[in-house]
Amino acid sequence: MKKLAVLFGAWMATACVYAGEVSVLDERRQWVESFYTYPIEFFNQKPLLLKTEYITENKQKKDTVLTVYTGYSMVNTKVMRKDYYISDKVRAAMNGGLVGASAPMMFKTNEEIPIVGQVSVDRQDFVLVPTELDGFVMLVARDGSVYGHLGQIRDGRLALLDDNILTSPDNFHFSPVTATSVDASEPVNGFDLRYDGIKNGQMVFNYMAYNPSDGKSGEFQVVTFPKKRGNYRIDDVVIRVLNATPERIDYMILDS
């Protein structure tokens, strides 16, 4: 019985060493692979920004008689930021696909394929599109073109395969399925001029210039003029006052 206990103990020690070797070898493999693989940002994070546009809103007409009541805007210009993000899909721009050493992968025009995540290879951004081969992905650049090698996801990282792939036709590419984001409550630039009635015989105007650096703050000033008809300049805005009362103002915008 004693010999059996000794043998059992020896077997347990050997099993521990063996398990330890497997763990060490697995960690070593992952360490070696980290030198030729790329980290992946999976798409449970913020999508990749494709482009940004700035939209100027200015609804008031120049050289037209206008009327506003006290407390309301006479003239304003707002520059809004509109961001286009690559959503979680791409769309085939035409019939075609990939040919090469791997199995052919063909798509129909406007066919949508989900995106796994995004990666940066040699300082170029790509989104990862799954293929029919489990764990293998295509790399699609911002312009929709397909990278010349497939990738394989290993332990959450991307490894590039050596075999070249070709597109058929040559100009086959994808289009991003975009999602837009506009925050109309926070202009990034512009101004707002409001009429604030008559006080102590003076016409009172409130002028706000939005801060172009963040759009969330700005320069606020109160401007007064004698209560009479005429042309008045407030910063870059030129108005012609036709009539002003404590309740309303009739005016024209000459420049803004």
Omega of the bond leading into 130 within 30 degrees of 0 (cis): no
Per-residue pLDDT tens for 80-95?
777 777 667 889 999 9
User: Which residue numbers in the chain have pLDDT < 70?
Assistant: 1-35, 44-48, 59, 86-87, 100-103, 178-187, 211-218
**Cα separation, 202 vs 36, whole angstroms:** 73
**Cα separation, 78 vs 68, whole angstroms:** 19
pLDDT of residue 7: 30
DSSP letters for 146-170? BPSEEEEEETTEEEEEEEEEEEEST
**Cα separation, 49 vs 127, whole angstroms:** 12
Give the count of alpha carbons within 13 A of 44, CB side only.
0
Dihedral sign for Cα 30, 33, 39, 44, please: negative
Dihedral sign for Cα 199, 202, 203, 204, please: negative
**Cα separation, 53 vs 245, whole angstroms:** 41
Per-residue pLDDT tens for 131-149?
888 889 999 998 899 998 9
Indicate the pTM of the whole model. 0.44
